[in-house]
Structure 1
Amino acid sequence: MSDDLLSSLFDTPATPSSGSRLASTSFLCDMSLMGGSSAESGKAIDISSRMIECSNEIVESTIRNESITPEIQNIIASVHLQCELDLRMIAISARNAEYNPKKVNAVVMRLRDPKCTGLLFRSGRLMITGARLENDAKLGGKKMAKICQKSGFPKVKFTNFKMENIIATADCKFPIRLEGLAYDHRDFCNYEPELFPGLVYRYHPDNSPTKAVLLLFVSGKVIVTGCKNYQEICNVFDNIYPVLCQYRK
């Protein structure tokens, strides 16, 4: 698919400006001043008004309604504790930790406030998941670092906090023709309903550094993954929403 076509897929349709509507009004006035009977002029004005209303409705139908807002479901963040850890010792010392090296070579640490889960690796790397707010993920990471300090590792430091991935969901409020979308956008889509009911859409426009993967379902539900902050999620959804509107059932 060419770069021009790809760019056109993610361009947000422009909202009609007041200037364009004034120009349309001026056009209607000019029509009324043209020669011909008043009845013919009235019909021309009526037809032109309907055309303008239809064009405005088409544009507005592809603009995301404020009620259709992506909601964060999970945040994945990472922290480095600057210290090698004895995972077995931490699992014995901490009441909210468990260690089963046969399943995963990391200590699983769960917190209730804020509600999140951490994976502690021997290298000192800590992965945090389950939080819905960045501040909660950061606070949870700091609490886990303190638990490690109290478990016999006083050199532990909370450093290099980084948002790795945000998972968000949204509802388009209308069903989507996934077959048509998969065919027209086959360079970006992977759709195998026999294996998975959702369509995988890889979002990476040439004019944007943002990379994301969207899971689209017939019901209109959308899952957005791969973004680093909430603004990126909103930008991705705002750009993909007009495309989805073209495949409304």
Structure 2
Amino acid sequence: MNIENCTCVFKILPGTQRFTSENFLAIARNGINTEYNPKRFHAIIMRIRHANYKTTAALIFQSSKVVLTGVPRPEFALRMAWKVTRSIQKSYSAAKCKEVWAISVRCLKVTNIVGSFRCNNKLSIEQIYRHLKIQNKLKKMNKQIFYEPTIFPALRFKMMEEGYKAVSILIYISGRVIMTGLTSEKQLNNLFYNFLIPLINKFPRL
């Protein structure tokens, strides 16, 4: 299972402090690779380029909350958060704002990991669908299962078990599998090796 990207959130200012309107505009005006159009979206968008020509986008809100999207892996979250924070510190310094000392990375949390996997063979998702429905009826599993091939080409199901309630899985006939809603690599690996691999190995498309 490959990790495609992650979403993270953190706070810039302590407690319930917010950016003043002047300081918030200073970030937009003096920041590198930033854009701010309050008529379209009420957050500053900052783009951070890194290896392999990929980009992480930071959505900076006046509440001092920051949402990072496109983080390559969970272990990169802190590095990306500090890149944003240092850029904001430089914007503060350029605008001669006095509260530079208050800017830091606080309460950093990974909120979503997207993982993908491709089987060597095609999958019989009709059989997987029937199997999961039967397991649900027998109460051996607890999942919301959807398969409407005329509407969407993949089998979709949401995990309802404790600790995995935000996780959704897509399984395509081609053998491609996508998982979203995970919050740690441990959670991803546990679900992948203990549930997903045994499931898809049972139902190859012959």
With the shorter chain as reference, the TM-score category is: 0.7 to 0.9
On the 8 A contact 2:32/2:87 being kept in 1, the answer is: no
Please tell me the residue identity of whatever aligns with 1:84: R
Tell me which residue corresponds to 1:71. 2
Tell me which residue corresponds to 1:105. 42
Higher helix share: 1
Tell me which residue corresponds to 2:110. 163
**Mapping 1:119-134, distance limit 5 Å:** 119-134=59-74
Please tell me the residue identity of whatever aligns with 2:71: A
Q: How many equivalent pairs are there?
A: 178
Tell me which residue corresponds to 2:179. 224
On the 8 A contact 1:129/1:137 being kept in 2, the answer is: no
Compare CA radii of gyration and give the structure with the larger one. 1
Please tell me the residue identity of whatever aligns with 1:151: S
Q: Does 1:190 align with 2:127?
A: no
3-state SS, counterpart of residue 197 of structure 2:
helix
Work out the CA distance in 1 between the residues paired with 2:151 and 2:38.
Answer: 31
Identity rate of aligned residues, in percent? Answer: 26
5+ residue gaps, structure 1: 1-69
Q: Does 1:147 align with 2:87?
A: yes
Shift in alpha-carbon separation, 1:198–1:103, aligned structure 2, 3 A: farther
Tell me which residue corresponds to 1:116. 56
On the 8 A contact 1:176/1:244 being kept in 2, the answer is: yes
5+ residue gaps, structure 2: 93-98, 137-142
On the 8 A contact 2:12/2:65 being kept in 1, the answer is: yes
3-state SS, counterpart of residue 164 of structure 2:
coil
1:210 to 140, 164, 170: 164
On the 8 A contact 1:107/1:120 being kept in 2, the answer is: yes
Cα deviation, 1:143-164, whole Å, max 9, x if unaligned, reads 2112222222512221111111
Deviates more, 1:180-189 or 1:238-247: 180-189
Please tell me the residue identity of whatever aligns with 1:129: T
Offset at 1:137?
2.0
Higher strand share: 2
Work out the CA distance in 2 between the residues paired with 1:101 and 1:133.
Answer: 30
Query: Which consecutive segments of 4 or more residues in structure 1 shift more than 6 A?
Result: none
Query: What is the RMSD computed on CA atoms of the aligned residues?
Result: 1.9
Question: TM (normalized to structure 1)?
Answer: 0.66
